[in-house]
Structure 1
Amino acid sequence: MSAQKRLVWPDVAKGISILGVVLLHIGIGVPEGESTWLYQINTWLDPLRMPLFFVVSGYFSTKILQYTLRDVLIKRVWFFLVPYLLWVSFELWTKNLEWQWVFGNEPLTWRELGLNLLLGHNMGWFLHALILFNLALVAVRKLHPALAMLISFAPVLLLPLNEHFYFVGKAVMYLPLFFMGVYLRQAITTFVAAVCRLNVAALSFAVITYAVGYFSRGWWNQFTGEVALPWYLPGMDYMGHEEVLLMVRFVEQTFQLPMALVLAVGIAYVPYVSNFFAFIGRNTLPIYLGHPIALTVGYHYIQIVGKWEISMDGETLLQSTWFWTIVCMGLSAAGGLMLWSVSKLPVIGWTVYPPSLPQIQQMLMRAPVLRPTSGKD
């Protein structure tokens, strides 16, 4: 029997997601980077980017419904936890050095590092989210799917904590989408198959839902003043602008998900382009963890020394927003390549892709035991 062929569209979807994240970080980091057309295109993809990633992650997590807590810890959480603890810590250390030089910050303490990692207040927050989302999924695995889906909306109850714990907002927006990927896997598969056949009903559904999401955000953007809606649960009296925006963004991205799937499926049929996005999607982890380190060391450290006045109208190459945008794209690629190369090294590569815990146990059992000599040798 031949091996099952790997689906292309999920890899393309993850490739779109990670490239969008990289472009976002570049646009924010380079002065006036938000004015480039690359950033503007990425803004259009914003409601599709991370939702698509978490739906695809859930799509391939249905096996967790058969896992015990021990299974999910050793077969899933372990593989997220090791690179998260090691490489995010390294990224935080490099970024803290920049802040020391620029703002005079104090060196990063172990306590600050630990709290940062625990709360997910860092560039690797998506790994932090996947760890907690997998644990949440195994916790509700025996419940009826409808009840489990309802529970995935529970982070809304924690909205009063959003100002202090940023992960609350991430959970509000992405935990239900992760659960959708799990419990609506068959529906997603059927929809994708219909899109592949250019089914008019499926394509029309994607267009209509996208329009609903788009206009819901447009309606919200009309409210430029302070917003306050009553909150009837403990923790706060009113939902402010940021809390309401989280809900609006969730509605926007949920309704636009069908179009995001159409986009991923469509790109999967484009020769060469699909190969590029699929390759990126298969290497999401080293790119995601490697690019912020490369941007900090290769761009921000250099800017501290050079002190160039960068703008879209820069008179010289080193003062040009576009020049540094392109440089940062190269640095991001180099950062991903660096971490991918590290993953191929013996032992050190385990920091990116750790071996399974049973494998480690077997290696330890096979390791030679050093016995004390008798003193007669």
Structure 2
Amino acid sequence: MTAFFPNPHPRVSPATVAETEGISRWCVGDREEPNRQTRTDAGRGASDQKNAASSTITASEKAHAAGGKRVAWADTAKGFSILAVCLMHVVTMVPGGMDTSWGMVKLILDPLRMPLFFLVSGLFAHRVVERSLSDLWFRRLWFLLVPYLVFTPVIAANRLYIDGKLFTSPPPSITAPSVIPGLPVRLDLNAIVAHMDYATLAKAIVFGDPGLWFLYALMLYNVAAWSVRKLPAWLAVAVSFIPAYLGSVAGYMSHQGVRQVLTYLPIFFVGLFFRQVVFRLANHAFSCAVVVTTLSVFIVSEVATYALNRTLFAEWNDTVAAVTVGTGLLRIFAAIPFGIVFATWLSQTPLIAPALTAIGRHTLPIYVSHQAALAYGMFLLGGFRVQDAEFVQIFDNPQPLIYLGFAICAVSGFMFYGLGKIPVVGWVLYPPSLRPKR
């Protein structure tokens, strides 16, 4: 997931996500950073979901993990995070979007958006350390791999087109007259298929960049967690920092795909190996001392990050990319306690809580669909603009275009939620279990 900074240097954000400024030819600027569905045991078959009970949490929480019930604040955190993901992609897509108030909101949410997702994913990956490697495959990795393989080619192709890397030799045009009444143009799939650089696309799928990197990272994180399952909790978390350190020393952290996968491993491990500490913090989210402390740390960290980005880190290079891995991790760990507190508040807020909880339970359809939907929506809008359609004039200003982007994300999420309910077809999101019957 990416964010854009108001300076001319392509950079990776201190929130540990790589950034490259620019508006695509489809008006889709940024890549995502995620969201895949961060459900308790995301993407499992129905029988697996029933058995995927979360472990106990504090008594004051209304939704207990025991017995397979949901954890209210965790679902709210996921709903909040996927909306922040959509917001990020929309405001970085829209010309001038980062200069609006929504752009400011996006910047504030940078250190919370993906870290909350990975923290919650770690919280409910605790059964990983209890399983055999084959059980890990059948009960978790399979359910991440299928939607990754189904949807990554589309998302990766979109991003490669944005970056000018999709074709071996660019076709004269990728548009053709629409055969559907009311639509101005359509994608010329024949031209796209004939000129596509399949080697580059295959590389994106194998290495998770560009594409649905969140699902890719979760698969790696689960395997990593299983590999260190016998270590003491503190040592396992300490080990999780090593990949990011080695990547920094080797000079790889200026590459988005490497940086974003290596950086979030520690927060996933904290959620996994120190889950009771996280639940305890959520249980005290309304304590005045906790609120003041977490909010103060968050604010101080953000002020320091703002100052560093405009002084020491103003010029982007490999050295700065390496150093900002460390400062980015500090920023994440300074922000995440307040993120937990804030998510707990939201889970107790009338009207807001039910909506965020419902969204948080179904993040996967939104995650896999919204980027392609935004790209296609802007593609059609460009077609209407070429035809001088009068209604497109309203979208000359960034605010209406931002709201259109929000609407596109909502519609695509609802459509793919429905897709997941269709027998057999829905397997692209929630594949059937491969576990041998006993």
Q: TM-score, normalised by structure 1?
A: 0.83
Q: Which residue of structure 1 lines up, in the alignment, with residue 353 of structure 2?
A: 274
Q: Name the counterpart of 1:367.
A: none
Asked if 1:322 is matched to 2:399, the reply is yes
1:94, CA displacement in angstroms? 4.9
Q: Given the superposition, is the C-alpha separation of residues 28 and 300 from structure 1 closer, same or farther in structure 2, using an over 3 Å criterion? A: farther
- For structure 1, the 5+ residue unaligned runs are 229-237, 363-377
CA distance in 2, matches of 1:57, 1:43: 23
Deviates more, 1:208-217 or 1:8-17: 208-217
Return closer, same or farther for 1:42/1:145 CA change in 2, 3 Å cut-off.
same
Structure 1 equivalent of residue 79 of structure 2: 15
Query: Match for residue 110 of structure 1?
Result: 198
Secondary structure in structure 2 of the residue aligned to 1:316: helix
1:264 correspondence with 2:343? yes
**Partners of 2:121 and 2:268 within 8 A in 1:** yes
Q: Deviations over 1:170-222 (max 9, x none)?
A: 13421000000011111111111111xx2233223312321342233134124
| 1:158 is the counterpart of 2:247 | yes
1:185 aligns with 2:275: yes
Tell me whether 1:143 sits opposite 2:231 in the alignment: yes
1:296 has 2:375 as partner? yes
C-alpha change, 1:19 and 1:167, in structure 2 (3 Å) is same
Task: Measure the CA separation in 2 of the matches of 1:70 and 1:125.
Answer: 23
Distance 1:170 1:94 in 2: 19
In structure 2, list runs of 5 or more residues that go unmatched: 1-65, 165-169, 175-190
Relative distance call for 1:211 and 1:319 in structure 2 (3 A) is closer
Residue 127 of structure 1: how far off its partner (Å): 0.6
Take 1:290 and 1:177, find their aligned partners in 2: how far apart are those partners? 26
State the number of aligned residues: 345
1:117-128 correspondence runs (5 A): 117-128=205-216
Shift of residue 168, structure 1, vs aligned partner: 2.5
Structure 1 residues 165, 318: closer, same or farther in 2, change over 3 A? closer
1:32 and 2:96 matched: yes
What per-residue deviation string (whole Å, max 9, x for no partner) do you get for residues 292-319 of structure 1? 111111123432562599xxxx993131
- Is the partner of 1:240 in helix, strand or coil? helix
* Bigger mean CA deviation after superposition, 75-84 or 40-49: 40-49
Q: Return the index of the structure with the highest Cα Rg.
A: 1
Q: Summarize the alignment of residues 357-372 of structure 1 with structure 2, pairs less than 5 Å apart.
A: 357-358=434-435
1:308-331 CA distances to partner (integer Å, 9 max, x unpaired)? 99xxxx993131222221111111
Segment of structure 1 superposing worse, 281-290 or 214-223? 214-223
Deviations 1:211-236 (A, max 9, x none): 342233134124256669xxxxxxxx
> Which residue does 2:150 correspond to in 1?
86
Counterpart contact for 2:281–2:341, Cα < 8 Å: no
Q: Partner of 2:31 in structure 1? A: none
The one-letter amino acid of 1:166's match is Q
Q: CA separation of 1:356/1:97 partners in 2, compared to 1, >3 Å: closer, same or farther?
A: same
In the other structure, the counterpart of 2:218 is 130
Partner Cα distance (2:217, 2:392) in 1: 43
Matched, 1:338 2:415: yes
1:232 aligned residue: none
Whole-angstrom distance in 2 between the partners of 1:261 and 1:167: 27
From the two aligned structures, give the one with the greater helix fraction. 1
Read off the aligned partner of 1:289 and give its amino acid letter.
Answer: V
Query: How far does residue 291 in structure 1 lie from its aligned partner after superposition?
Result: 0.4
The answer to whether the 8 A contact 2:84-2:109 is kept is: yes
Greater Cα offset, 336-345 or 156-165: 156-165
- Call closer, same or farther: CA 1:4–1:129 in 2, change over 3 Å: closer
Of 83, 88, 110, the residue aligned with 1:46 is 110
- Give the SS at the match of 1:141: coil
1:243 matched to 2:322? The reply is yes
In the alignment, the residues of structure 1 paired with residue 267 and residue 143 of structure 2 have an alpha-carbon distance, to the nearest angstrom, of: 21
Instruction: State how far apart, in whole Å, the 2-side matches of 1:354 and 1:80 are.
Output: 9
In the superposition, relative to structure 1, how do residues 248 and 351 fare at CA in structure 2: closer, same or farther (>3 Å)? Answer: same
The answer for the alignment partner of 1:365 in structure 2 is none
Q: Is the 8 A contact 2:210 2:257 kept in 1?
A: no
- Distance apart, 1:130 and its partner CA: 0.5
**Structure 1 residues 225 and 116, CA, compared in 2 at 3 Å: closer, same or farther?**
closer
Bigger mean CA deviation after superposition, 218-227 or 168-177: 218-227
Q: 1:240 to 1:300 in 2, by over 3 A?
A: farther
Q: CA deviation at 1:107?
A: 3.4
Query: Residue type of the partner of 1:153?
Result: F
Distance (whole Å) between structure 1 residues aligned to residue 118 and residue 288 of structure 2: 27
What one-letter code is carried by the residue in structure 2 that aligns with 1:268?
S
Answer with 340-349 or 161-170: which moved more: 161-170
Q: Distance in 2 between matches of 1:174 and 1:225?
A: 21
CA 1:38–1:186 in structure 2 vs 1: closer, same or farther (change >3 Å)? same
